[in-house]
Structure 1
């Protein structure tokens, strides 16, 4: 009996040991979620910028203590005076979570902002200052929420007004927008275009204004302008040609079109401005594909390196130019000035600029990527104390991107460097000035037979845009394929082709082979042509009728004559897209091949 009792004890100890040392805690597979945040407060405005320092988390739920919430990572919030308890819940993909809270006290100055004296929603005198809350029906939400709110940053010279418009995208569709209905059609004979002040914590976003005719959305035109400031007000200008007079009585605002996000944007002082319509000023400096190549708008569009810091400029006797003094020699890229733009792989460009120094020294000039491996094509240029125009030819042999750049690297030698009148033109586009295009004309890699997407900018936008060699292609191995996937608009695009070749009054023919299928309702297949000018898109044309998709290859041909006063100094862009809205079952599948864009 004693033996049995001892054996039982030994077995019990063995089982306990296995339980203690043989089992693992499944929770150890996932790092612990730690929620936390810090913040900065603008005491003049009551605007709080939250800085999320949570660890091992993916999703966030903010409660701002005043009834508002957010799922942004680093939200910005404007408070009235008072004390608020802010709660952040951080979650990971495994369901783990943590909560952190802190209390903020906001004290607002007694004279925080300027009350607007005027406002107008009339087309003839449009000036949306948000002095009062817009009347019901004036503003229509289409995938974005509008609110009349306090100015998040009024301690500045550009926009000290008390009230502004706030746009919060809902992230449902890439085309979330806000629409403003006017009482009459806009006049661009008397007015030169539209201006608008914008503000957001999101860096580098673009603002597109689309003008439409109420009840006839196919009658439209649009312009897109990039922003250059973050968490700071700036005024954007949208010059519309006089030919667009008396056509449109609806304004559609897109903030970061095709970015399916839930970010927040503010705007104010949307108004018409006096002028004589859009277009290039006669005798103005032609900077080709660039913007502000003569620096007469200061640092606008020019940056240091690939960041957002503006390039330094100097004005002497009324002439503004880039200027920097290199006091210590190092890597050539340590001192840099760049401008981002689309560069097409395989294309050849002519880069011209004026340069001079306080001594004989060399600089590096060319084109390249603004990220990744920073591939580039550059040349060394020797400059002197005499202001001289230099011209080089550069080819983007093995790189291309929509956010590539023109670059000048100046850090390898000491001395002052001055640069002015920079221009960039695409070589070999079309068939020469005033003549007919080649077989493919202005299009690059038009038959996709490189087996790569060089020359094309691809937008997935919730669907698929890719090369395809699985179908019976039309005259080769490869074609481009677009497939929607629920609410989506995948697209192929080529930007700023034919700069220096196309001109106002030219007749443009867009032609390509296509086959595919659609499932209605809500399915659309579009072809768009854009004029690229110094201030952005000078016109937008949607070809109507659009291509018809069938199970066999057919050829689509569309023609358009560039308006006589359209600015196409930066060439043309064209886009081929498949679109499905929110209709259940909608689907578009399309293959395209043998694309040509020619001047006739």
Structure 2
């Protein structure tokens, strides 16, 4: 009776399972195309006591188990799981050990590996130890010998080193952590007590080459200081958006000669065959300081070329340009010479303390700056981000108080500034193109970091040729000392100003902080001036999860659970109020979510995705995949690893290799592919602003 009950229950269960339909996210059809195991090999180790006891460890990519045929004695193989070993006692001789690797689908690959068992000391030991062509810190070692079973190598970098083992036919590698001279030792071992040793001195050098950024912990930036100049590498004391580098060089010009400076010897000749424009970042205590950059032949200082430029700003990083187009390229130059204020003796004070960084060569002189246009983010190197203050306002380039790599503007409304003090975004000529205000797109946004809640901020747009043709609107700040995105809707024009007239040629914008109040010293940071996209009612890129009318209908699968949620950390690079929240719970290693778009994604021009991600840990993987809506086999994917924990960062997915012929409608999001989640905070991720660039 019990047997019948169990059979009946099983039948019901099978019927239920058969009636359920499921998205094919746990499809294992990939097993049918899974390849055979590859790179089959074996590691031999032998005791040095004349017993002939050999330990055999088979290896292979994609192999879960192995058969080991010892080539001696019984023909029955030993079954060995991946990562395990088997032992065998051999008499002296040469044996063919056959390894058969089995993949998860039953496919096999086999390889025969010779094993030498001898109780003699190895003879005719030959070692090849060569630096890697692609990494000057890496050495590759291989060896041959008679009567040897295994080699052990000591790379000589640490005390009490545990040697690494390898066999004949293998190459073993090691990457040194710093420059220096090391004693490499290779020991050939047989089954006997005696061994044979090979010794070699390895010298690791790391020459200083152009470009020079002073960031390498392995390079010795050994300046030769002369006649009062004193250059040292140190932590960047002025880390800003203009130079977020960790390390820079500090030059103090003290008492000595008017030409006091420093020389940096390079490890190779500077190549001026194509690039003839030097650039160098400089931080000067004053405007009008002279900066001379000179190159010299290492043996003949008469073979030299130099250019001098003058600083135009004080206490701010600037990128100076040195035109070397007239240099004689038939000479060779290995030395860089830096001199500040040539012709003036320094006094070692802060007035003669300079910083420099990022010395590099480029092909052409920088292009003339282009006129500003929307969107404005202050990041472009060839855009003129000059602003025009009025009413005693003061605006400068500044450092984002949250993210030092982000370039922003900083506006101070000083004591006594007019109630109407403001700042025109750009020059009086306005934007290069018309502001695209239309009947369905009437909003602009500005990210603002305000010192207090409730401060009125006004935005005005106008015709640069006729100031009477304008409209302005006003909002108030809702956050203090953190970023927020203020949205200005010009259909809600400010009291006493003209209504929005779409016939006007709006090409100029001005922002007014604390409008209507006299200046009191308040400081405002601002960034990202742009149009607010009209809500078309159609789901598509970019995705910002802010819409109240769009249906973000996520299809969650195998443990992935994606929803729209409140931003857990508003500020920095992400001031959005709404973001996507992924909780990866128990399920499959590939658990994730799909978002189906009604129209195919256009990859004809833009092929780089960026996504803002907030991860609970460094090293988490995010996979972004696109699929055809009818055939999931038509797809493309890229995976990127997070570098920050509990902070927003922008991840970039390179889709340059995607087929522009196929159609892709679906976006698939998977975190930590290959690892099942547990639904905890450690498997809770947020992302936002999925954008195709």
State TM-score, norm by structure 2.
0.25
Query: Larger relative CO (CA 8 A, sep 6+): 1 or 2?
Result: 1
Bigger Rg, which one: 2
